[in-house]
Structure 1
Amino acid sequence: MTLTVAQLSESELLARIFPRLNAGTTTLLGPGDDAAIIAAPDSRTVISIDTQVQDRDFRLLWPNGTASSGHDVGWKAAAQNLSDINAMGAVATAMVVSLTLPGTTPVRWVEEFAEGLSAATVALGAPQCSIAGGDLSGGSEIVVTVAVTGSLEGLDPVLRSGARVGDQVAVCGNVGVSAAGWAVQESSIVPAAQTPAMAAAAALFARPEPPLAAGPAAAKAGATSMMDISDGLLRDATRIAGASGAGLDLDGAVLAGLAAKLGDTAAALGKNPLEWVLTGGEDHGLLSTFPAGATLPEGFIGIGSVVSPEAGREPVTVDGQNVKGALEGALGWDHFAV
């Protein structure tokens, strides 16, 4: 018989969670008290928070028959929060987690969640980031909220508002792959019938791989603006353009090259891979701008340039042309445009 959350007390459930959490290297006082204490050697603390809601951000069972394990949900919760700290040019130091659970949730799913959260911090390159505690509650659906802190380690933060005309636009990490994976999960193609490319995209959707070394490297290389690509390249580029009072013009040939890597999966699903590249979210790569002529850090590829804004032209263009009207779907992910 499957042991469920409702069969344990809160203390008994926490006793199963705590040993599975990464202790990191920054926690002075960890789980068990009213609050944790985290070292802050830089004297400045970067902080971010993100939430996943069952059947809105993830499904326990996808249409193609794939189940979301606790490990998957824990991994993604860690990845998306680590990525936000990375996008400031900072290094993650600690997380706290709020977890709302229906009483029917298997205890093993919760244990796997804690294991996935910890595994992601180590595997993605943030072993110093401790999981310092959090909160448990009951509810009708699973809700995961993670708050993460970070250290700038003597560097200046890289904001969205620093892009200047003439700068290079560059990305690092996956672009469009998670959107392809989401489409695979939402399809009727069962895992046994998937091509290797489809399976790889689905795996990266379940467990994103943000390039955590790239944020501090970009800051050291003089990045003028930067953000995490969580809601789609076009939507997030539009945010940099708006914050910086500039336009971003993307290189169509480079975008086509990125789309070509997703071509086989798109063909199998009857989709346009370029739309995945432009509007797909949750890859958690980095979108950055660098001064003209600057050498891009390892892993970054140039995808365009910062231009002067013009009346009648969208904040983000491709080869100088407006593209929003040519897209079949939305500009990118919006939590309330459903």
Structure 2
Amino acid sequence: MGADPTAIFVGLGLPGDLPAEWLDGLTDGFGDECALVGASVAGGDIARSEKIVLGVTALGDLGGRAPVTRAGARPGNVVAVAGRLGHAAAGLALFLAGRGDLPFPGLAAAHRRPEPPYACGPGAAVLGATAMADVSDGLLQDAGHIAKASGVRIELESRALPVPESLAEAAAELGQDPLGWVLTGGEDHALVAAFPPETRLPPEWKIIGSVTEGEGVQVTGYEAPHGGWDHFRE
């Protein structure tokens, strides 16, 4: 929504026999990730539980700006993404195929630990983004959330979608389609946003489509798969 991260609160349920080393690793990970954005773990709660249960509440400061929601995209806007797309999905596919870290260690690492473009969220707000969402469930799915909330249609250009060499090579190795990963893989936690057409976007943002009248999401020049993650899909 365009806020600068400030703090997180962690709710944690743990089995009584969980090794302390596991908890040490978790807290170190929280600290390391918060340090990337100048935030901190401000508090939370711990309870005994049969299974590990983890809930995180993240806080941010808008600095007086209005929040950038999913509902502001307008016909004529351009659609752009920041961050990686499809890398975590490729890494998962490699693991499921028994390929592990080799020969694509960067993709395996992307699956294990995503690298969200944290600074691009507040940056987009300053640039005048009209709508924005994180790509946690897949580009098609999350662009669709913007389209639905804004009452518009989003048209993505297949030739503009980023497919780096490592992604293409991994797809060829596994007999899969790299654009399928880019469009439906979500665990990279990239950002997708709509901007006024005259906005001068920095290199971190890549234009991949436009906003038009209508509804839903269309990918030109490509038969897009149905996909993206839906927690409640049968």
If the length of structure 2 is used for normalisation, what is the TM-score? 0.93
**How far is the alpha carbon of 1:320 from its aligned partner?**
7.3
- Provide the rounded CA distance (Å) in 1 between the counterparts of 2:53 and 2:232: 17
Q: 1:1-338 residue pairs with structure 2 within 5 A?
A: 88-123=1-36, 126-127=37-38, 129-191=39-101, 194-195=102-103, 198-255=104-161, 257-258=162-163, 260-309=165-214, 315-319=216-220, 323-324=223-224, 327=225, 330-337=226-233
Tell me, yes or no, if the aligned pair for 2:34 and 2:41 is still in contact at 8 Å: no
- Provide the rounded CA distance (Å) in 1 between the counterparts of 2:207 and 2:31: 33
Instruction: Kindly provide the amino acid, as one letter, of the partner of residue 306 in structure 1.
Output: V
CA RMSD of aligned residues (A): 1.8
Return the structure number with greater relative CO, CA threshold 8 A, min gap 6. Answer: 2
- Provide the rounded CA distance (Å) in 1 between the counterparts of 2:29 and 2:115: 13
Instruction: Out of 221-230 and 129-138, give the one that drifted further.
Output: 129-138
Task: Provide, for residues 175-202 of structure 1, a one-character-per-residue CA deviation record: whole Å limited to 9, x for no partner.
Answer: 11111122223231244xx11xx22112
**How far is the alpha carbon of 1:153 from its aligned partner?**
0.8
Instruction: Kindly provide the amino acid, as one letter, of the partner of residue 318 in structure 1.
Output: V
Q: Say which SS state the counterpart of residue 171 (structure 2) adopts.
A: helix
Q: Say which SS state the counterpart of residue 95 (structure 1) adopts.
A: strand
Tell me, yes or no, if the aligned pair for 1:221 and 1:297 is still in contact at 8 Å: no
- Provide the rounded CA distance (Å) in 1 between the counterparts of 2:73 and 2:177: 30
- Provide the rounded CA distance (Å) in 2 between the counterparts of 1:245 and 1:130: 37
- Provide the rounded CA distance (Å) in 2 between the counterparts of 1:183 and 1:269: 8
What is the identity percentage for the equivalent residue pairs of Structure 1 and Structure 2?
45
- Provide the rounded CA distance (Å) in 2 between the counterparts of 1:136 and 1:209: 27
- Provide the rounded CA distance (Å) in 2 between the counterparts of 1:320 and 1:275: 13
Q: Which residue in 2 is equivalent to 1:21?
A: none
**How far is the alpha carbon of 1:259 from its aligned partner?**
6.0
Q: Which residue in 2 is equivalent to 1:39?
A: none
Tell me, yes or no, if the aligned pair for 1:249 and 1:320 is still in contact at 8 Å: no
**How far is the alpha carbon of 1:254 from its aligned partner?**
1.2
Structure 1: gaps (5+ residues):
1-87
Tell me, yes or no, if the aligned pair for 2:10 and 2:44 is still in contact at 8 Å: yes
- Provide the rounded CA distance (Å) in 2 between the counterparts of 1:138 and 1:183: 34
Structure ranking higher in strand proportion: 2
If the length of structure 1 is used for normalisation, what is the TM-score? 0.66
Instruction: Report the structure number with the largest CA radius of gyration.
Output: 1
Pair 318,292 (structure 1): closer, same or farther in 2 beyond 3 Å? same
Structure 2: gaps (5+ residues):
none
- Provide the rounded CA distance (Å) in 1 between the counterparts of 2:144 and 2:100: 36
- Provide the rounded CA distance (Å) in 2 between the counterparts of 1:260 and 1:168: 26
- Provide the rounded CA distance (Å) in 2 between the counterparts of 1:336 and 1:139: 25
**How far is the alpha carbon of 1:213 from its aligned partner?**
1.1
- Provide the rounded CA distance (Å) in 1 between the counterparts of 2:5 and 2:199: 27
Q: Deviation above 4 Å: which 4+ runs of structure 1?
A: none
- Provide the rounded CA distance (Å) in 1 between the counterparts of 2:99 and 2:189: 25
Instruction: Kindly provide the amino acid, as one letter, of the partner of residue 101 in structure 1.
Output: L
